[in-house]
Amino acid sequence: MLGAVVGAFISGFLADSFGRKPVVVGAMIIMCIGNALLAGFGHLTPYLSTIIFFVIGASCGGYMVTNLVLMIENLEHAKSRLLVVSLNGWPLGMAYVGLVAWISKEWRTYHIIFAATSAALFIILQCISLESVRWLIHQKRIRRADKIQLQIDSRNFRVNELLPKIMQSQEFERAKTPTLMEIVKEEKSLDRKISKNKDRKLTYFDLFRHSSVRKPLLALCYCFATSSVVSFGFYFSVEALPGSRYLNLAAMGLLKFGLGFLPFLVSYFVGRRPIILTSVGVACISIWIYLGFSLGLNLSKHWIITFLGLLITASIDPTWKINHLYSAELFPTTVRNMSRAVCNVGARLGSLAAPLIVYSRQWFTETPIIVFAIMLTIQWGIVYFVFPETKDRPLPEEISDDEDVEIVLSRRDEREDGLEDENEKLAAKV
């Protein structure tokens, strides 16, 4: 888990600087090698196995930060982006973990299977995946961007008859009407101080210097952390739920996948904000009911507790989907991967805190559930008061703050006033 924090942080900068695909493919091959090394040498010393686990975690964190951005940046249609997020493989991965663990029953075989799985995915990604056209254009690598766009168009042409329109990649808009933000960027470039730093690479510090990025980033980071604490808290407590741990984990994954697909199905009628409010709300209500049954009615060993535990983790899945979508739609291309990295660091810190919170049940059985309930309630409030609606809005391209717009508008008014004065003087002379 600590490796995932470090990997997420580093990969966000690398992906924004050097490209999305190299980070995604590189993370998968590191995962393959790490699992193979663990299966072969993990038994020699706990220090070696700890280092290998750290490296595997770093590759996982790096992959999770970058893979979604790589897909979403080549999609212009809002429903396409939501479909990609809804088909996230995490819930199926949970079910796969339960299946592999049940089949292998032994750690070495378990890691060999996952090394082989990672190797297969590495080959598929290397051969099929394409670099982000949007990122290439921002890097002024237009020829490479055009070449990849032609490959995307060619693939879409071949599947046009098979897929509905909402599942197809749309051609990247090459010629767009200048927006106010683009005008702001153009006029700001005339300013000597800004133009001096125009071509420098953005860093993590830039995320917190601009209010348009800072506010949603901090709010989303908390939501990622809370969702992670609750989700991993129940993953680590799966053996405490009545019933088989293997069956519970597999059922948790399958139920998450089913509910996680709901955002796409209801997106025809509602936006992102109502979906995440409903998702967090259902989790809140379920966890408070869980506490009522467990503490008030003393039913901690009843099947209803297993049902509520599965429902809480599954109802969080639509929240994860919208969180991931927000992490791509709220932040501009120039810092999108770094913003997702910060959010993912929040999620990984949540996964680090989860086992510590779960361990507190040694002193009082329901302490973790109480903590989860409070955190989810706060999350619902943050979503309600902070998050905007992003449905059917284009992905932002550049960092822009409201104060920048005001400065440019005031300068424009001054220039227009000056021109009017000159025209009046000229008219008077005539």
Distance between CA 287 and CA 389 in Å, rounded? Answer: 27
Give me 174's structure tokens.
């090459």
Burial of 392 (0-12, 13-18, 19+ CB in 10 A): exposed
Residue 248's domain comprises 2-129+202-399
* pLDDT tens, position by position, 248-262: 878 887 888 788 778
Q: What is the pLDDT of residue 168?
A: 44
Asked, for residue 54, whether it belongs to a domain, the answer is yes
- Cβ neighbours of residue 206 closer than 8 Å, sequence gap 6 or more: 213, 335, 399
Q: What is the pLDDT of residue 167?
A: 46
Asked, for residue 207, whether it belongs to a domain, the answer is yes
Q: What is the pLDDT of residue 134?
A: 85
Asked, for residue 382, whether it belongs to a domain, the answer is yes
pLDDT tier for residue 193 given thresholds of 50, 70 and 90:
very low
Asked, for residue 239, whether it belongs to a domain, the answer is yes
Asked, for residue 358, whether it belongs to a domain, the answer is yes
- The one-letter amino acid code at 22 reads P
Does residue 165 register a pLDDT over 60?
no
Asked, for residue 173, whether it belongs to a domain, the answer is no
Distance between CA 60 and CA 52 in Å, rounded? Answer: 12
- Cβ neighbours of residue 141 closer than 8 Å, sequence gap 6 or more: none
Instruction: For CA atoms 75, 150, 140, 131, give the dihedral sign.
Output: positive
CATH number at residue 281: 1.20.1250.20
Name the DSSP class of 396. Answer: P
Distance between CA 411 and CA 407 in Å, rounded? Answer: 6
Asked, for residue 166, whether it belongs to a domain, the answer is no
Distance between CA 350 and CA 101 in Å, rounded? Answer: 24
Please count the structural domains in the chain: 1
pLDDT-above-70 percentage for the chain: 82
Asked, for residue 422, whether it belongs to a domain, the answer is no
Q: What is the pLDDT of residue 374?
A: 94
Least-confidence region, from 148-157, 181-190, 247-256: 181-190
